[in-house]
Chains A and B, each alone.
Chain A
Amino acid sequence: MSAARATLFTDLRAALPGDALLTREEELRPYECDGLTAYRALPLAVALPHTVEEVVSVLRLCRARGVPVVARGAGTGLSGGALPHAEGVVLSLARFNRILEIDPRARIARVEPGVRNLAISEAARPYGLYYAPDPSSQIACTIGGNVAENSGGVHCLKYGLTVHNVLALEALTIEGERLTLGGRAADAPGYDLLALLTGSEGLLAVVVEATVRLLPLPQCARVLLAAFDSVVTAGNAVGAIIAAGVIPAGLEMMDRLAVEAAEDFVHAGYPRDAVAILLCEVDGDEEEVAAALTRVQEILKHAGARELRVARDEAERQLFWKGRKAAFPAVGRLSPDYYCIDGTIPRSKLAEVLTRIAELSREHDLRVANVFHAGDGNLHPLILYDANMPGELARAETLGAAIMELCIAVGGTITGEHGVGVEKISQMCVQFTPAELEQFHAVKRAFDPAGLLNPGKAVPTLAHCAEYGRMHVHRGELRFPDLERY
């Protein structure tokens, strides 16, 4: 062990209780990756503080010693945002798991960062309230991680993303200085640092408390399933619903491979022979929902739906959703590994993009299942591969890069809700100009001049982009497809 490491450990031990510091390899192993398991690294140590004062101590120590800090919630992220730094400390906020306050009259919840997303809605339910953003990992993911990633979910077209539902944050800078951003009162004075921190992937500050908005539970929700003979028709149907002035609470699309996988897995009652299905949920009071359902059925029929089925009751509604929510694990049963892409595109480009993805899938000889939040154009193509087959991971990554760059080319983005992390860092070089990346770095330096919070994530260095530019040959094909890239 180096002397620097030994003194870091000594100082951390002095600042933290015995159960709040992990340094042995077998203890560190569970932290080596997040939901993106293709990338792994062991940190020097994992700190599991109990109090904000202990978090402050860890940050100050690391700042003084120039040691990187990677904040971590539940580790469910899909872009490697919580991947440890080999020379750094993982700062786990898992012990900050208390709901500090539910104020039903003001419709807010004040929670610690390690509280699970779903736990907020569960605690609010007795008051007829809930927390709207519902990422698919909501049973496990934490609000701190949701803030870091600006998480979405299936209801964000109508109810917004994390940034629209968080009112205030208490955050610590790398200096250990406490900041209050936003507040219970609207439009906090000065710059909108609450918005800036949301989605900043742990690069600017560490959230130690969040106050979120709670909404009244809708009186009722009904879901409709529509089957189509082509993805183009299904895509156009989505545009037709929105053009007619209906904002569904959820509007999801799955292609045939995803439908078959979900059917085999949970028997949701989806039509197996459909080329694409849409799930459209409307919520509100009884009259509103009944009127909207009739309207949506007419639109979908007109748009060429082959089959329309409204869930008869709450049980069938849950079953329809179960198929969609189980789509990832269901696809996981078709293949030893899958790689999930997260691009967002203008909805009008849906047909064009899906056609091109099918071509790319053939060119790279890897199957792709498509599941997506159709209402807001957020695609989740799942690339099926086998990491044990030589070259397949690299081929999956090449295909993924090509799909992301396709999203940029049609006016979209490489990530709608999963974040850049380490995974999409090279595609940032394609989406942004050097001046724009340099502006991101300048913002980072304003918060963290030494670059110690989650270094190497979210925003690539210009040197990395230059390197990627050299590797990046025609149409996303890499020159050395079998080499691993970081």
Chain B
Amino acid sequence: MDKDDQSAVIVARVREAAAAHTPLIISGSGSKNFLGRRVTGIPLAVGGHRGILHYVPEELVLSARAGTPLADIETALTARGQMLAFEPPYFDTTATLGGTIAANLSGPRRAYAGAARDFVLGCHLVNGKGEILHFGGEVMKNVAGYDLSRLMAGAFGTLGVLLDISLKVLPRSETDTTLIFERDETSAIELMNRWASRPLPLSATAWSDGRLYVRLSGPAPAIAAAAAGLSGEHLPQAEEFWRDLREHTSPFFTDPRPLWRLALPSTAAPLALDGPEIVTWGGAQRWVKTGVPADRVRACAAAAGGHATLFRPARGALPAEAPFAPLTPALHHLHQRLKAAFDPAGILNPGRLYAGI
């Protein structure tokens, strides 16, 4: 028997918990423990359920168990000249595939290639009744039944324990180059949007501290031509810059105040929040370090047409009671019914997203 196949153990644990109505805290490596609400219950470690199951580069598909370290997956892909195009953040070198998908976390390329959820092709999961279910598959197009595998992305394990996931993968770009421009925030947001409406090979954009950073990715001649047209300064050590931004290891993130993530329409004007800010995703994501009260941050995001997440509480503070933007009553009610449809006993990460879900 394959010792890395823990599915029988996971099923048994879920059935036991369902019978006893004992909540389970699903955990891969724990690298995203800081994100979301605190769950009380018994830990269900899924990190041992690991291993790449199927990877055929010419199919552009990789399937792996949820506990597989993200690093192992990216190493396998790099060896064959491919990548996870949503450029997932790790937040710890031990990060697993399951946690990455459950949290639907995407990195700098998100505005130009898509989010984690866009690359989910299928999964096996264990629902709250302890049934192993398979949705989607390993093919690019599949509309048989509801798209329940994509629904798992961002559900934080509250609808099912992910056993394995199939993802669409893409060829790595031949060349990457990053240009820098001295710009204020308003004109940087304007440029990000203007350039995105032209067929340029953009793969990441960011603004921080008076500088606009633009990464171009693609075949060498196309990148050379596009870079010449934009005429910015070349950034040396660009790979490190984007990695630090993705992993929250650049100096901006050491500020002890709470870290807010505002998802906004890309054209939204600069925010009037007291605190330093980084703009990414072509203007669609703004990281803010601020001590401004949560309701004011949320009101500011809502006024701009978006929503705010308390991504990390202030240094030394307890986890937030409501890190995610509240749902409308109609949507909240629907979430409760969907939760009950997958997890009638309410044992899978209950309350990780919202109280009662």
Contacts and interface: CB of A to CB of B under 8 A. Distances in A.
B81 A190 contact: no
Given A128-B197, A291-B219, A183 B143 contact: no
A420 B145 contact: yes
A183 B265 CA distance: 8
Given A192-B151, A411-B138, A285 B226 contact: yes
B196 interface: yes
A234 interface: no
B221 interface: yes
B337 A240 contact: no
Interface in A74-110: 103-107
A435 B225 contact: no
B307 interface: yes
Interface residues of A, number: 92
B115 A187 contact: yes
B265 A106 contact: yes
A351 interface: no
A245 B85 CA distance: 13
Nearest to B326: A189
B146 A190 contact: no
A193 interface: yes
Nearest to B104: A187
Nearest to B283: A106
A418 B144 CA distance: 9
A179 B309 CA distance: 21
A417 B133 CA distance: 22
A377 B139 contact: yes
Contacts of B331: 179-180, 190, 193
Nearest to B225: A287
Interface residues of B, number: 86
Interface string A433-462: 101100110110111000000000011000
A452 to B, nearest CB: 16
Interface stretch (A49-57, A158-166, A308-316): A158-166
A447 B341 CA distance: 10
Interface stretch (A22-30, A65-73, A211-219, A270-278): A211-219
A413 B197 contact: no
Contacts of B106: 187
Given A186-B284, A376-B139, A163 B145 contact: no
A195 interface: yes
Interface string B294-311: 000000010001110100
B147 interface: yes
B263 interface: yes
Given A186-B285, A191-B335, A285-B225, A198 B198 contact: no
Contacts of A185: 263-265, 284, 301, 305-307
A443 B148 contact: yes
B338 A191 contact: yes
B198 A128 contact: yes
A213 to B, nearest CB: 10
Contacts of B24: none
Contacts of A106: 193, 265-267
A428 B265 CA distance: 39
Contacts of A345: 139
A151 to B, nearest CB: 9
B206 interface: no
Contact of A344 (B142, B159, B265, B325): B142
Interface in B319-335: 324-328, 330-331, 334-335
Contacts of B200: 216
Interface string B118-140: 10000000010001011101111
Interface in B220-270: 221-222, 224-226, 263-267
Interface in A231-245: 239-240, 242-243, 245
Given A183-B306, A435-B131, A157 B140 contact: yes
B354 interface: yes
B342 A416 contact: no
A285 B199 contact: yes
A416 B143 contact: yes
B137 A413 contact: yes
The 9 closest A-B pairs by CB, nearest first: A185-B306, A416-B141, A245-B171, A376-B140, A442-B341, A243-B58, A446-B337, A288-B222, A287-B221
17 contacts: A105-B197, A105-B267, A179-B328, A190-B354, A200-B146, A240-B58, A247-B171, A288-B221, A291-B219, A346-B61, A346-B138, A378-B141, A415-B142, A428-B144, A428-B145, A435-B133, A443-B148
Interface of B: 56-61, 81, 104, 106, 110-111, 114-115, 117-118, 127, 131, 133-135, 137-148, 150-151, 153-155, 159, 170-172, 174, 193-194, 196-201, 218-219, 221-222, 224-226, 263-267, 281, 284-285, 301, 305-307, 309, 324-328, 330-331, 334-335, 337-338, 340-342, 353-354
Given A245-B81, A291-B219, A431-B144, 10 more contacts: A107-B196, A163-B147, A184-B265, A189-B326, A191-B154, A199-B147, A377-B140, A433-B134, A436-B134, A436-B135
